[in-house]
């Protein structure tokens, strides 16, 4: 140790200390965490993209239903502000169509995955603040989808008549 | 002991090895994680892309279905000489036909016809086809021009692989009141359509037709369901999947045995532009346009 102390006292020390290597490790660790976050962000982005792709199809469904019943387009105003949908019944075409939208927006009975001893619905992501609305005025129909707690907005419009 | 000691002590070396191993383990697990994420993302992107391609094409064809060029009757290269004859083939779906209904035997066979000029009519078929020697099915698209024969018969698209790994394909037709319309079948029909009264004679403005033919003109909306699985396995644990596409009694309902694939069902609803259109009346006489003969439809 005497010799070792002498060595430490020298001005010219070669190599790195344990402290330096630990600091270096922490910096590399932060880099790893950042990369992991980047990866999880890209996975979420892909999921969002998939959901948006489905939203596109659902918007088309809504607009197609409006186009298919142009004389009653004004009855197709619709607002769904919660994530729980319940059909409301009715024999009119627009009421049936709106119930269809409710079912499809929930992907009811499409596809179920095994979970535990039974099956679980695969539903599109829906959180508080998300909403689906349609507006019809002057022969123009519009669909507004708010997703990601209402932060992401998607508007689509069509001339119904 | 020498005055000047070069190199590492045993403790330093051990600490360095431990730190090095931790770093390598972190790098390895991060690589694994990235790799799995990339595989999962690319698989999901693949089915999303497949669905977009297929549904866009099917939607476009259904919007065109049933279009009869105003000058088609009499000029058709297939020899169609009356409005009734032209209306015998517009749109058709048959369910659960052996050999045409996919891996799980529940898929539909969709056929549609529309004119592309006063002499040409296009026939398009969609159904699930087994992919060579694999156990997978793909959605096939087949196009024939002037399928009834004649000088302009051609087969431009022969059972083309449209999208792979399709587990279910359902088409549900609805009338102008939103009710499920069955049977709508003029080709590849089977026991399902027969049980729905397909051969029952029905009166139409174009003369008597069977119910499967007469219902074609009533189709107002087509609901299309497409269930696709990822090309490669995504999950580490196998699980079963239940598919329920369509309406009760009209659609599919089956369970896929446990596997590690991810599945998505895509849905699109299309309004037929040329069928179940509102009847237009001449204001002065009240006569319906489209019922009489010789009028520009």
For residue B174, which phi and psi values (nearest 5 degrees)? Answer: -130, 150
Instruction: Return the percentage of chain B with pLDDT > 70, whole number.
Output: 92
C-beta of residue A132 within 8 angstroms of C-beta of residue A145: yes
> Which residue in chain A is spatially nearest to B247 when comparing CA positions?
A109
Are residues A100 and B30, on separate chains, in Cβ contact within 8 Å?
Answer: no
Number of alpha carbons in the 13 Å side-chain half-sphere of residue A14: 5
- pLDDT value for A148: 76
Instruction: Return the percentage of chain A with pLDDT > 90, whole number.
Output: 0
CB atoms < 10 A from the CB of B296, how many? 7
Alpha-carbon gap: B150 to the closest alpha carbon of chain A (Å): 36
Q: Give the pair of three-digit tokens for residue A17.
A: 């200390």
Q: Give the pair of three-digit tokens for residue A114.
A: 């095994």
Predicted confidence band of residue A19 (pLDDT cuts 50, 70, 90)? confident
Beta strand pairing call for B239-247 and B250-259: antiparallel
What is the sign of the dihedral through the CA atoms of A18, A22, A28 and A29? positive
- pLDDT value for A87: 80
- pLDDT value for A24: 85
| Whole-angstrom distance, CA of residue B57 vs CA of residue B51 | 10
CB atoms < 10 A from the CB of B248, how many? 9
C-beta of residue B268 within 8 angstroms of C-beta of residue B224: yes
Nearest to B30 among A35, A100, A119 (CB): A35
Alpha-carbon gap: B153 to the closest alpha carbon of chain A (Å): 34
- For an interface test with A, give the residue of B4, B24, B41, B237 to mutate (most A CBs within 10 A): B41
Are residues B45 and A49, on separate chains, in Cβ contact within 8 Å?
Answer: yes
Residue A6 scores a pLDDT above 90: no
Instruction: Return the percentage of chain A with pLDDT > 70, whole number.
Output: 87
Q: Give the pair of three-digit tokens for residue A161.
A: 């008549």
Are residues B240 and A114, on separate chains, in Cβ contact within 8 Å?
Answer: yes
C-beta of residue B132 within 8 angstroms of C-beta of residue B126: no
Which whole number is the average pLDDT over B254-261? 94
* Chain B residues within an 8 Å CB radius of A15: 8
C-beta of residue B233 within 8 angstroms of C-beta of residue B260: yes
pTM: 0.84
* Chain B residues within an 8 Å CB radius of A32: 26-27, 30
pLDDT tens digits, residue range B55-111?
Answer: 999 999 999 999 999 999 999 999 999 999 999 999 999 999 998 999 999 999 999
| Whole-angstrom distance, CA of residue B22 vs CA of residue B137 | 46
Residues A18-52, buried b or exposed e (16+ Cβ, 10 A)?
Answer: eeebeeeeeeeeeeeeeeeeebeeebeebeeebbe
Predicted confidence band of residue B294 (pLDDT cuts 50, 70, 90)? very low
Residue B2 scores a pLDDT above 60: no
pLDDT tens digits, residue range B182-195?
Answer: 999 999 999 999 99
Beta strand pairing call for A78-80 and A131-137: antiparallel
Nearest to A43 among B4, B37, B239 (CB): B37
Sheet of strand A78-80, all strands in order from the earlier edge strand to the far edge: A78-80, A131-137, A140-147, A152-159
DSSP annotation of A73 reads G
- pLDDT value for B170: 96
Residue A54 scores a pLDDT above 90: no
pLDDT tens digits, residue range B132-172?
Answer: 888 899 999 999 999 999 999 999 999 999 999 999 999 99
- pLDDT value for B289: 53
Which whole number is the average pLDDT over A82-90? 80
* Chain B residues within an 8 Å CB radius of A97: 178
Could you give the 3-state DSSP secondary structure of residue A50? helix
Alpha-carbon gap: B48 to the closest alpha carbon of chain A (Å): 6
Which whole number is the average pLDDT over B30-52? 86
Are residues A119 and B240, on separate chains, in Cβ contact within 8 Å?
Answer: yes
> Which residue in chain A is spatially nearest to B1 when comparing CA positions?
A3
- pLDDT value for B295: 35
- pLDDT value for B4: 62
CB atoms < 10 A from the CB of B190, how many? 17
- pLDDT value for B288: 55
Are residues A64 and B220, on separate chains, in Cβ contact within 8 Å?
Answer: no
Alpha-carbon gap: A149 to the closest alpha carbon of chain B (Å): 23
Cα of A33 vs its chain's centroid, Å? 23
Predicted confidence band of residue A2 (pLDDT cuts 50, 70, 90)? very low
Mean pLDDT of all residues belonging to chain B: 89
- pLDDT value for A38: 84
**Run of H or E including B61:** helix B10-64
Are residues B37 and A54, on separate chains, in Cβ contact within 8 Å?
Answer: no
Alpha-carbon gap: B94 to the closest alpha carbon of chain A (Å): 21
Predicted confidence band of residue B228 (pLDDT cuts 50, 70, 90)? very high
Alpha-carbon gap: A111 to the closest alpha carbon of chain B (Å): 5
> Which residue in chain A is spatially nearest to B34 when comparing CA positions?
A39
Predicted confidence band of residue A32 (pLDDT cuts 50, 70, 90)? confident
- For an interface test with A, give the residue of B170, B175, B181, B242 to mutate (most A CBs within 10 A): B242
- pLDDT value for B72: 94
- pLDDT value for B89: 96
Is the ipTM higher than 0.85? The answer is: no
């Amino acid at each position: 140790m005497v010799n070792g102390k002498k060595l430490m006292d020298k001005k010219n020390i070669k190599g790195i200390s344990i402290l330096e290597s630990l600091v270096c490790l922490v910096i590399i660790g932060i880099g790893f965490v950042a990369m992991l976050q980047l990866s999880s962000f890209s996975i979420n982005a892909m999921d969002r993209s998939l959901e948006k792709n489905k939203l596109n199809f659902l918007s088309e469904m809504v607009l197609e239903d409006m186009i298919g019943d142009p004389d009653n387009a004004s009855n197709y105003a619709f607002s769904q502000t919660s994530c729980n949908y319940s059909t409301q019944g009715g024999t009119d075409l627009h009421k049936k169509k709106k119930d269809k939208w409710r079912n499809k927006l929930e992907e009811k009975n499409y596809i179920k995955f095994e979970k535990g001893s039974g099956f679980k619905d695969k539903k599109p992501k829906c959180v508080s603040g998300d909403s689906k609305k349609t507006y019809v005025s002057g022969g123009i129909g519009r669909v507004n989808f708010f997703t990601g707690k209402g932060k992401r907005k998607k508007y689509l419009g069509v001339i119904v008549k | 002991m020498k005055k000047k000691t070069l190199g590492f002590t045993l403790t330093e070396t051990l600490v360095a090895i431990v730190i090095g191993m931790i770093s390598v383990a972190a790098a390895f697990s991060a690589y694994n994680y990235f790799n799995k994420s990339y595989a999962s993302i690319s698989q999901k992107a693949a089915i999303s892309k497949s669905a977009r391609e297929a549904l866009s094409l099917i939607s476009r064809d259904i919007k065109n279905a049933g279009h009869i060029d105003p000058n088609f009757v009499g000029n058709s290269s297939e020899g169609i000489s009356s409005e009734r004859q032209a209306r015998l083939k517009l749109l058709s779906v048959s369910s659960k036909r052996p050999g045409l209904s996919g891996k799980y035997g529940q898929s539909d066979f969709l056929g549609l016809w529309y004119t592309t000029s006063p002499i040409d009519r296009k026939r398009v078929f969609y159904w699930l086809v087994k992919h060579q020697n694999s156990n997978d099915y793909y959605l096939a698209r087949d196009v024939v021009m002037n399928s009834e024969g004649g000088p302009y018969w051609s087969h431009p698209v022969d059972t083309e692989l449209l999208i792979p790994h399709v587990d279910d394909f359902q088409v549900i037709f609805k009338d102008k009141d939103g009710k499920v319309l069955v049977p709508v079948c003029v080709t590849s029909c089977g026991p399902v359509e027969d049980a729905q009264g397909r051969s029952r004679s029905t009166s139409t403005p174009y003369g008597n037709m069977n119910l499967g033919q007469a219902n074609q003109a009533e189709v107002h909306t087509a609901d299309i369901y497409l269930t696709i699985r990822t090309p490669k396995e995504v999950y580490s644990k196998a699980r079963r999947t239940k598919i329920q596409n369509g309406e009760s009694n009209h659609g599919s309902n089956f369970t896929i045995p446990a596997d590690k694939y991810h599945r998505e069902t895509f849905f699109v609803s299309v309004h037929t532009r040329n069928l179940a259109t509102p009847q237009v009346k001449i204001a002065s006489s009240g006569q319906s346009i489209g019922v009489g003969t010789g009028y520009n439809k």
